[in-house]
Structure 1
Amino acid sequence: MSRKFKPYTAFSPNSSEPYFLLPFKFHRISENREVLVNEVGDFLICDKGTVQQVVERTLDSESELYQDLIARFFISEKQVPDLIDVYATRYRTKKAFLDHFTGLHIFVITLRCNHSCHYCQVSRKTETQGAFDMCYSDIDRSIDLMLMSPSPDITMEFQGGEPLLAFDKVKYAIERTIELNEQCQKNINFVICTNLTPITEEMLEYCKERNVLLSMSLDGPAFIHDSNRPKTGTPSYDMVVDGLRRSREVVPEDNISALMTTTHLSLEHPRAIIDNYLENGFNHIFLRAISPYGFALKNAKKNIYEAEKYLEFYKEGLDYILELNRQGTFFIEDYASIVLKKILTPFTPGFVDLQSPAGIINGVVVYNYDGYVYASDESRMLAENKDFTFRLGKITDSYQDIFYGEKAQWIAESWAVESLAGCSDCGLQAYCGADPVRNYATQRDIEGHRPTSTHCIKNKGIIEHLLKLIDDKEAGNEAIFRSWINNNPYN
């Protein structure tokens, strides 16, 4: 027996109906509660069965729920709502990250590194292998491409390897960018992603002078950090903490951030990791899941775990952070803050992993040490394993060919959740994003298969949990969440 589509007339406006349905989706977040989400991310968490009442038009027009549905553009008493222009403006605001195109430009300045992290996502090289540094002519051309971006706000991020091992080239790139920007007049932020162990006073003074941000790696207490990130076979935690201390003595506090990676060992210690960040003077943490690339896949025992295990770790960590906030310690979980900005505000957080169309190319591009351009950081990680699926072209190619060429157009066919199977009708779509590179890396399919996608399981689990916490009015979670978004301590 086959199920046929209803005729067009079944969807035609009927003037006898009490109200018209506007586009929205829905999702069951618990046994007795469901959430309705419209095209701009407005939501209503209601009792089970509310969606059925809305669709069957059995709502009491005098009820508060009815008025909420009208006010939040779920239903309308007119075929075209009076405030449709306001609704359209809000939709444009949600997609504003597309206005200026690529804003994050990553320079893989070297593959040399002084660590042997077992989850490293690239084929690291020893400190003496200068052949794996970006050459000066490629730096020049990459900067030219970066400044061709129509975005008025540019982040120039240096990665590796360990970029401080090629600090002369980092300085060269920054100085040349500053010189050329006198004509372009863009707002440019400089970021160095580093383990901090090679940092010197000279480097710190330069970072202070040029207002360079330092993004360091810190996986938690020494027993976790040293296991995850040995420095050529020796412990590195004490060296990292010393580098952090020396950095804070020179550069502004706000110019230093930390990033952790969740390994198999980390899963059992969310509270210890959070406490370690507090002990080291941080008021936020990104409880980041491991990326399925490079050496992370080769060390499966240490790095590979079920998405459900990560969600248990994440929820325990988030609950502990909420507890800290209620006790008067202002502390933010960064990933939750990013998702919450999509849920609780009309704005987009600009986080490339949760965008639709996807952040690759639209938000980020990578200029690799080898003279090629990749669609994202994860794309060049695949390339280190000889998979060049997401290579956009050579640094010497034209801007048009790199950013709008055949490869970019092919990727664009699968980068919008609004048109992907399993995403297009998902009730949490407005808060998620497309990730063609991860789909390909984990499922060998650029579009991906949602029922078995770890990316989907992880994000759906986190979003559901956040909505449940918002729905718990007695706990006062929403007030804490809004304090994170505003970066203003909860009272």
Structure 2
Amino acid sequence: MELPIAKDFRKFKGPEFYEAEFSEYFLLPFKFHRINDEKEVLVNEVGDFLIVPIGTARRIASRDIQKDELLYEDLFANSFISNKPIPDLIDVLATRYRTKKSFLDDFTALHIFVVSLRCNHSCHYCQVSRVSENRQEFDISIEDLTSGIEHMFRSPSPSITMEFQGGEPLLAFDRVKFGVEYALKLNETFKKDITFVVCTNATVFTDEILEFCKEHQIIISTSLDGPEFLHNANRPKSGAKSYQMVIDGINRARNQLGEDQVSALMTTTSLSLEYPIEIIDNYIENGFSNIFLRPISPYGFALKNSKKNRYHTEKYLEFYKKGLKYIIELNKQGVFFVEDYTTIILKKILTPFPVSYVDLQSPAGMINNVVVFNYDGYVYATDESRMLAEQGDFTFRLGHVKDNYRSIFYGEKARFLSQYWSNESLAGCADCGLQSYCGADPVFHYAAQGDFEGYRPTSDFCIKNMEIIRHIFDLLDSDGKALMPIFNSWINNRPRYQ
């Protein structure tokens, strides 16, 4: 094979090409991204944005913006350009940047305890190695649970969430009960703000369980995949129709605990892709005011049934956009209903504050915001990474609950992972115009591509998030006047008419 001759290569231009004549403004750091055939979005270091005609970024860089243009004032006011090399308000920008990253201040807040692998369902997209209901050897030991709780209280965060997962955690209710009571006992000394969450399929409630949840204000998070035919297909239970069982469980929990103490989460399977409207209507019919149109995750058992669980990201994006359009139309008609993933991104776009959603944090939420204590006593960087462990891959194992806190949270493994958890320093992310609103997620890229950093052009994480964020900006550009009141109501979780 002959190498191309030198003249075919793109040559770098000389320094004189980049030397601009004296201009009326200096450039501040910003990036840009095309959002449709006519517009691009400019985004600065603190996430401020301007939607402008295509070619504006080039004009700014070429010092072609004139002082008498309205654009000049917008660029100056929003810290895209400055009349000095270092703007007078640099300290304000620094404060705003620190605010965006303030989720790092208090370190780990979410502590997930996998109290059992036992489960009474056979969901084909399950991400863990569930076992049958009678296998009590797969329950966490009291000794390991105690050590994990003690580590939880070593976190510097003044607010912590203790989340119980499985399997089906309520099959090991004695562990849940012990965990809550021991945490409350320790908190008499530490005096942290504690939130308790149980992730359950809502089919094993008893009066004792619900009374305990009510007494300790425990939040119930369950799974609901949509209409009966869809839920039963996605989440089968031997000898029973799981849909009616979960609806009965949801209603029973609401009656005992209150409407705001019960939430639901859906997972998008190949079958789900055809029914976004029906899924949303089902949530409304069952008294929910929000939904997370969540794609399936590339972990664990979910990968074993490719026919039901694998689909192109483009198919999911069609599902998401159709669902979002329907939800927006409902809101325009006066029905308050929220799409959760859109709202997370809107908070990053429209507010100065950070979000607690691990996947869209940079540095990534792994360790910094979440840690998992598995049923066998081992500690993992995220919920997804313990799912990899169930398949025999212990790459993200941080240690054991018997290890000291520092070796788990600041040890060699944590330091290694820190090389890959900031999208500001990753190839393909560092210069992305949508970087401020996205995350890094090295666990996803390791699982999907076998690489901690990931290759962005073929990354489903990037394809999904870049298109969703671009789509949101496109909506703001085309229908912003009508959408902003709706989007603000989602951010504030309050209907417009209140």
Name the TM tier (shorter chain): over 0.9
Tell me, yes or no, if the aligned pair for 2:41 and 2:50 is still in contact at 8 Å.
yes
CA drift at 1:6: 7.0
- Secondary structure of the residue that 2:194 maps to in structure 1? strand
Local SS of the residue matching 2:420: coil
**Structure 1 residue 264: deviation in Å?**
0.3
Displacement of 1:200: 1.2
Task: Judge conservation of contact 2:110–2:161 (CA < 8 Å) in 1.
Answer: yes
Alignment match, 2:3 = none
Instruction: Report the Cα distance in structure 2 between the residues aligned to 1:397 and 1:474, rounded to whole angstroms.
Output: 52
**Between 108-117 and 197-206, the greater mean CA deviation after superposition:** 197-206
SS at 1:281 equivalent: coil
- Of 148, 154, 158, which aligns to 1:152? 158
Contact 2:364 / 2:440 at 8 angstroms: preserved in 1?
A: yes
Tell me which moved more, 78-87 or 310-319.
78-87
Helix, strand or coil for the counterpart of 1:208? helix
Q: CA deviation at 1:370?
A: 0.7
Q: For 1:384-399, what aligned pairs fall within 5 Å after superposition?
A: 384-399=390-405
Q: Which moved more, 1:3-12 or 1:406-415?
A: 3-12
AA partner of residue 419 (structure 1): S
SS in 2 for 1:472: helix
Please state if 1:469 is matched with 2:484. no
Aligned to 1:366: 372
Taking the TM superposition and a 5 Å limit, the aligned residue runs for 1:300-315 are 300-315=306-321
- 1:177 aligns with 183
> How many angstroms does 1:10 deviate by?
7.9
Letter in 2 for 1:256: V
Secondary structure, aligned partner of 2:321: helix
Q: What code does the residue aligned with 2:482 have?
A: G
Pairs within 5 Å for 1:453-464 = 453-464=459-470
What aligned pairs does 1:254-273 form with structure 2 within 5 A after superposition?
Answer: 254-273=260-279
The answer for the alignment partner of 1:58 in structure 2 is: 64
Deviations 1:27-52 (A, max 9, x none): 01111110000111100011111111
Aligned counterpart, 2:234 = 228
Deviation at 1:488, TM superposition (A): 1.6
**Maintained 8 Å contact 1:116/1:233:** no
Residues 268-283 of structure 1: pairs in structure 2 closer than 5 A: 268-283=274-289
- In structure 1, what is the equivalent of residue 297 of structure 2? 291
Which 4+ stretches in 1 moved above 2 angstroms? 1-12
Cα distance between partner residues in 2 of 1:372 and 1:112: 17
- Contact kept, 8 Å, 1:365 with 1:374, in 2: the verdict is yes
Task: Say whether the 8 Å CA contact 1:469–1:478 is kept in structure 2.
Answer: no
Distance 1:7 1:84, change over 3 A: farther
Query: Is 1:69 aligned with 2:75?
Result: yes
Q: Which residue of 2 aligns with 1:240?
A: 246
Deviation at 1:478, TM superposition (A): 1.9
Tell me the distance in 2 between the aligned counterparts of 1:149 and 1:73: 36
Say if 2:215 is the partner of 1:209. Answer: yes
Secondary structure of 1:148's partner?
coil
The Cα shift of 1:232 comes to: 2.5
Which whole-Å CA distance do the structure 1 matches of 2:11 and 2:183 have between them? 60
1:92 and 1:6, CA in 2 relative to 1: closer, same or farther beyond 3 A?
farther
> CA separation in 2, counterparts of 1:475 and 1:328?
16
Take 1:15 and 1:86, find their aligned partners in 2: how far apart are those partners?
Answer: 29
Return the offset for 1:3. 5.7
Partner of residue 92 from structure 1, selected from 84, 93, 98: 98
CA–CA distance in 1 between the matches of 2:350 and 2:257? 33
Counterpart CA distance in 1 for 2:110 and 2:290 is: 22
The number of residue pairs the alignment matches comes to 490
Contact 2:26 2:81 in 1 (8 A): yes
**1:211 corresponds to which letter in structure 2?**
Q
CA deviation vs aligned residue, 1:349-382 (integer Å, no higher than 9, x gap): 1111100000101110000001100000000000
Residue 196 (structure 1) aligns with = 202
- Unaligned runs of 5+ residues in structure 1 are none
Does 2:338 align with 1:324? no
**1:413 is paired with a residue of what secondary structure?**
helix
SS at match of 2:256: coil
1:428 aligns with 2:434: yes
Query: 1:444-455 alignment to 2 at 5 Å?
Result: 444-455=450-461
The amino acid of 2:436's aligned partner reads: A
Corresponding residue of 1:36 = 42
- 1:17-69 deviation digits (Å, cap 9, x = unpaired): 21000000000111111000011110001111111111111112122211111
Counterpart residue type for residue 307 of structure 1: T
Q: CA deviation at 1:470?
A: 1.0
Q: Would you say the 8 A contact 2:65–2:72 is kept in 1?
A: yes
Pairing 1:377–2:383 present:
yes
> Which residue in the other structure is 1:106 paired with?
112
Deviations 1:109-131 (A, max 9, x none): 00000000000000100000000
Matched, 1:186 2:205: no
Equivalent residue for 1:440?
446
Q: Deviations over 1:388-447 (max 9, x none)?
A: 000001111111110011111111011110010100000000000011001000000011
Corresponding residue of 1:416: 422
Alpha-carbon separation, structure 1, partners of 2:241 and 2:342: 31
Question: 1:109, 1:160 within 8 Å by CA — same for their partners in 2?
Answer: yes
Letter in 1 for 2:195: N
Preserved CA contact (<8 Å) 2:355 2:361: no
The match for 1:479 is 485
**TM-score normalised to the size of structure 2?**
0.96
Q: 1:333 aligns with which of 332, 339, 345?
A: 339
The one-letter code matched in structure 2 to 1:187 is D
SS at match of 2:257: coil
> What are the Cα deviations for residues 71-109 of structure 1, in whole angstroms up to 9, with x where unaligned?
111000111111111111100000000001111000000
Aligned-residue RMSD, C-alpha: 1.5
**Superposed displacement of residue 487, structure 1:** 1.1
Match for residue 360 of structure 2? 354
| 1:242-301 residue CA offsets vs partner (Å, 9 max, x unmatched) | 011111111021111100000000000000000000000000000000011111100000
3-state SS in 2 of match to 1:382: helix
State yes or no: 1:136 paired with 2:138.
Answer: no
Residues in 2 aligned to 1:399 and 1:420: alpha-carbon distance in whole angstroms? 29
Query: Gaps spanning 5+ residues in structure 2: where?
Result: 1-5
